[in-house]
Amino acid sequence: MKMLFRKALLAAGVSLLATGAMAEQGVTDTEVVFGNIVPLTHPVTASLAYQVIYGNTVAAAEWNEKGGINGRKIVIKDEDDAYVPANTVQALQKLIDEGVFAMLTTGAGAGVAATLPILEEQAIPTMVNFSPYEPAVNPVKPSIFMIGASYEDLLFGEIKYIIENKMDGKTPKIGVIRQDDDFGKQVEAAFSRSIKDFDLDYADPLTFKRGQKDFGAEILKMRAAGVNILIAGGVTSEIPAMAKEAAKFKMDLQIATVPTGQLTPIVKLMQPTGFTYFSGDYVSPLGSKGAEHFEAMAKKHLTEEEFKGLSRYSLTAYAASLIMFKAAEACGKDLTRACISEKLASGEKFETNGITQPISFSSDKHIAATETLVVEIDSKTGASKAVTELMDF
């Protein structure tokens, strides 16, 4: 009897171990848990963080309505990193402890950089999209994928357009005022590449600490150097602050900005400056035909207030979530991290319901949707229009 009991205990133990080994963290018979890290409490970027969450929410709600991922309900756990890389690491650790299967967002550029070693070591499928950070996928890391052109490509596209179409015979002289962090380094990379590729005259690049509001000295230096193309490398309200100073000195300036330049609050703050300026993007703008399906879903699954808060960041988050969910579904019932990474890298084309061109990755290229278009924004009227087709830079 005693022997029988021991055997039964052993069998139960072996079966438990076997189940444990097979079951993937964050996946049960009824649920798949995804994680999301965004700067919810950072005063400047919090609104962008919410816009990302709205995009994720719409994608999950749409998918769950259709029965989830092979019958498993999608659950998203959001964590806040307040735009501090150390917090991004803590947030990721917390999500891992709570049993997250894959990551839909891992913070802004510096946050992505900080979490890369953990993501790579634990082979967590991750979709970088909030803030394109090329080192995340170059060199290729098996479980990490990214959609969206880098800031370097986006800004380079704008500079190219400006030089080819907006100089009216004037000799271009370029300047950059950029944040002193990883984001800013990407901005400066566009500046350096433009100088090299177009053999441009330039003013020395200037950096500023995150949170700086007054750009009097910086703009005065640009003016003294005779700059007529400025990369305004702020994230949000720094862009209109620079433009306001430039407008005060009646500078004849072409301004290139990162995609946040298209956000409604920025466009409104730019209005008194009277500048027509540029931004770049890789997703169909809200209100366009490409965003129709997303907007219909958002209307259905978000509150009226949330719907009003949508932006291009909601679109990119929605597209990234869809790709992740589709890859997960392709794995069938046997959903593992290895499988999802394999499916993503398989070269299969993932539709994003019109937001982007169909997206595909390969084993040696984990970045997609890198084609960018240039958007011209008339601050006086608030109107924006794409002035180029999607192009690869």
- Judged by CB, which is closer to another protein: 46, or 163? 46
Q: Which is nearer to another protein, 236 or 372 (CB)?
A: 236
Q: Which is nearer to another protein, 218 or 281 (CB)?
A: 218
First to last CA, the chain: 75
Q: Is 226 in the site for another protein (CB under 8 A)?
A: no
Minimum Å gap between C-beta 157 and another protein is 27
Residue 50 binds another protein (CB under 8 A) = yes
Report the site for another protein in 155-214 (rule: CB under 8 A). 180, 206-209, 211-214
For residue 335, is it left (φ>0), alpha (ψ between -120 and 50) or beta?
A: beta
Q: Exposed, middle or buried, 173 (CB in 10 Å: 0-12/13-18/19+)? A: middle
- Considering the complex, state which of residue 64 and residue 271 has its C-beta at the smaller distance from another protein: 271
Which CB atom, from 173 or from 221, has the smaller least distance to another protein? 221
Asked if 252 and 345 touch (Cβ cutoff 8 Å), the reply is: no
Contacts with another protein in 230-289 (CB under 8 A)? Answer: 236-237, 240-241, 244, 248-250, 265, 268-269, 271-272
Q: How far is the CB of 211 from another protein (least distance, A)?
A: 5
Contacts with another protein by CB under 8 A: the residue count is 33
Residue 50 vs 325, nearer CB to another protein: 50
Give the start-end residues of each E strand in the chain.
31-38, 73-80, 102-106, 126-128, 144-147, 173-179, 201-202, 206-208, 229-233, 254-256, 276-281, 367-368, 373-378, 383-386
Largest interatomic CA distance in the chain: 98
Stretch that binds another protein, among 39-47, 54-62, 155-163, 367-375 (CB under 8 A): 39-47
Q: Which two tokens stand for residue 227?
A: 């700059």
184 or 290: CB nearest another protein: 184
Site for another protein in 72-111 (CB under 8 A): none
CA distance 39 to 17: 38
| Closest approach of another protein to the CB of residue 260, in Å | 12
Residue with structure tokens 């984001």? 183
- Is 382 a binding residue for another protein by CB under 8 A? The answer is no
Scanning 273-331, the segments in alpha helix (DSSP H) are 292-301, 304-308, 312-330
CA distances to 202, 218, 265 from 207, rounded to whole Å, are 15, 9, 24
Q: Which of 13, 43, 67, 287 binds another protein (CB under 8 A)?
A: 43
Q: How far from the centroid of its chain's Cα atoms is residue 100's Cα?
A: 20
CB of 106 closer than 8 Å to CB of 112:
yes
Name every residue whose Cβ is closer than 8 Å to that of residue 388 and which is 6 or more positions away in sequence.
157, 161, 373, 374
Here the tokens at position 217 are 């000295």
Task: Kindly tell me which residue out of 216, 332, 358, 382 binds another protein, with binding defined by CB under 8 A.
Answer: 216
Q: Provide, rounded to whole angstroms, the least separation between the CB of residue 42 and another protein.
A: 8
**Residue with smaller CB distance to another protein, 51 or 352:** 51
Q: Tell me which residues touch another protein (CB under 8 A).
A: 43-44, 46-47, 50, 180, 206-209, 211-214, 216-218, 220-221, 224, 236-237, 240-241, 244, 248-250, 265, 268-269, 271-272
